[in-house]
Amino acid sequence: MDLPIEHLRTLAAIIDEGSLEGAARSLHVSPSAISQRVRSMEERVGTVVLLRTRPVTATAAGATLLRAARQVSRVIDDAATELGEGSAAGSLVKLVINADSLATWFVPALAKAAAATGARFEVLRADETVSTEKLRSGEVMAALTSTAEAVPGCVSELIGVDKYHAVASPGFVAAHFPDGLTAAALGRAPMVEFDRHDMFQQRFLVNLGHGTRTPPRHYVPSSAEFATAVELGMGWGMLPRLQCAPLLASGALVELAPAEPLDLPLYWQRWNLRSPVLDELSAIIAEEAKRALSFAGPEYS
């Protein structure tokens, strides 16, 4: 299959802009030229690559080509930098990171990477269990994920384990768990969840043997505000060690079951290509994770 680079750039521009007209403006060509490139691309690969939705989306074949387009762009940017012709603003690297990592250890690592590489970063926030979809679609170049299996065209590296603890305010514990974590109390006590994809609290109940309980739920889709909601007594919830340790030390929170933390193994998945920017970024992320996260034992290897 032989696809001109301008066709791949056109595909990426259409997805980024959300429409053929937007891509035409971005690339400074006519809308008819964009349409011709798309038709030619689809003829070459023998299938539809774009769905004319609002915004335009890629088909499965289009997602494969989009990933190739992003990788070609990355290689060209790296070559331009090595030749001293890179953009003064730095190349743009898109990542997808889970909210709790963003709220704790990841941003300092990203700041180091920005200083070391000169690149610009666009971070998309997504749950670690679904972030691989953005890699698979070609939307991002790297992701923190809980999935060990590498996405096609990517490599996966275990960088550490984030430990989550069931915590609540002292007043909440006194009001809802005067006799401990009984089945009846766990069924009545409100809990806080990040969103409807958040399964940490339910996993904790399952580990205690109370997985059939359906307590009332609050949904707070922000890491900092989630912790605040728990601290203010709205409900109990699972917080990462880095986030709850100071609150536990100060007495603002208490741990419900110190012997029952939940492990979240974190894998760094990135495109499988030689790139100075991605290589340096990945090395910094791995080093910062080693300092911030728990040791990844052999059960996750």
DSSP 89: T
Task: Give the type of residue at 22.
Answer: G
> Could you please report the per-residue DSSP string of 143-188?
EEES--SPPTTEEEEEEEEEEEEEEE-HHHHHHH-TT-S-HHHHHH
Q: What is the pLDDT of residues 251-273, one digit of tens each?
A: 999 999 999 999 999 999 998 88
Percentage above 70 pLDDT, the chain: 95
Buried b (16+ CB within 10 A) or exposed e, 1-29: eebeeebbbbbbbbbebebbebbbebbeb
Could you tell me if residue 100 is inside a domain?
no
What's the confidence (pLDDT) of residue 274? 84
CA distance 97 to 156: 15
Tell me the pLDDT of the chain averaged across its residues: 90
Domain limit, last residue, from 28, 59, 86? 86
Closest C-alpha among 169, 163, 185 to residue 254 = 169
Domain limit, last residue, from 86, 121, 143? 86
Do 65 and 41 form a contact (C-beta atoms < 8 A)?
yes
Count of structural domains within the chain: 2
CA distance 212 to 202: 9
The bridge status of strand 142-145 relative to strand 191-193 is: unpaired
Query: How many CA atoms does the CB half-sphere of 298 hold within 13 Å?
Result: 0
Do 275 and 119 form a contact (C-beta atoms < 8 A)?
no
* Residues with Cβ within 8 Å of residue 296, at least 6 apart in sequence: 158, 159, 160, 161, 265
Could you tell me if residue 242 is inside a domain?
yes
Task: Give the type of residue at 66.
Answer: L
What's the confidence (pLDDT) of residue 90? 60
What's the confidence (pLDDT) of residue 300? 63
Could you tell me if residue 187 is inside a domain?
yes
Could you tell me if residue 201 is inside a domain?
yes
Q: What's the average model confidence in pLDDT over 54-63?
A: 89
Q: What is the CATH number of the domain that holds 172?
A: 3.40.190.10
Q: What is the CATH number of the domain that holds 35?
A: 1.10.10.10
- Does the global pTM surpass 0.75? yes
- Grade residue 85 by pLDDT with cuts at 50, 70 and 90: low
Could you tell me if residue 124 is inside a domain?
no
> Could you please report the per-residue DSSP string of 229-245?
HHHTTS-BEEEEHHHHH
Least confident of 48-52, 137-141, 283-287: 137-141
Could you tell me if residue 291 is inside a domain?
no
Could you tell me if residue 224 is inside a domain?
yes
The bridge status of strand 254-255 relative to strand 57-58 is: unpaired
Q: How far from 84 is each of 75, 80, 274, 278, CA to CA, in Å?
A: 14, 6, 18, 18
Could you tell me if residue 280 is inside a domain?
no
Write out the residue range of the structural domain in which residue 223 sits: 162-263
